[in-house]
Amino acid sequence: MTADVGANAPDFELESDAGARMGLRDFEGEWLVLYFYPRDNTPGCTREAQEFTKAAPRLRKLGARVAGVSRDSVKSHCSFRDKISIGFPLLSDPGLIAHKSYSAWGEKLMYGKRIEGALRTTFLIAPNGRIAQVWRNVRVDGHADAVVAALTAASTTGGAAPAKGAAAAAPRAVKVKGPATPAAKATKGKVAKTSAAKAKTSKAKRRTRARRT
């Protein structure tokens, strides 16, 4: 399964900072902002969590909840949450199950070296369980505001993302001429002879009128 726009969001079940296991079922019927980040307590991840915490009231008004995912332990998540007063669940994925399901784990360049690690990625999941929008290679500053704007636009246009692989509009019908049948050829010949006879009669009448004058 590819975690892309229009696809069903991959299911997961991860332990949260509250000690309970959470999955997509816990957000059923709601918009979900699911974001993957590299590590607790790092500068970029701290700013991102603070921005989403600040944006959370606006997101809730639009019918959305937020959840962050990283490889960190539940203990680390609790410390991170308490340190900067994060206002949404943090999910622990040490086995990278959700990361890989959402293509949020892979090769990246860090300090000039190519390494494997978490790819900062955000998914906007619609109430019907389909992925409405994806942000990959996220730049932290201003990102939460961009998610709010996208959710506002999605809400005003009806919300749910189109089904992946939905049928395209049917092409216009085109009439194709097949080979003429014997009957069609005979009919065409009769029409041609009748037209020629009419033309000959009309020409004769014109000559007669011309002589009389």
**Catalytic residue numbers, as ranges:** 45
Radius of gyration of the chain (CA): 34
| Residue 135 DSSP label | E
CB 52 within 8 A of CB 67: no
Taking the CA atoms of 66, 69, 74 and 78 in sequence, report the sign of the dihedral they define. Answer: negative
Q: Which of 1, 16, 9 is nearest to 121 (CA)?
A: 9
Please state, in angstroms and rounded to a whole number, the distance separating the CA atoms of residues 34 and 67: 5
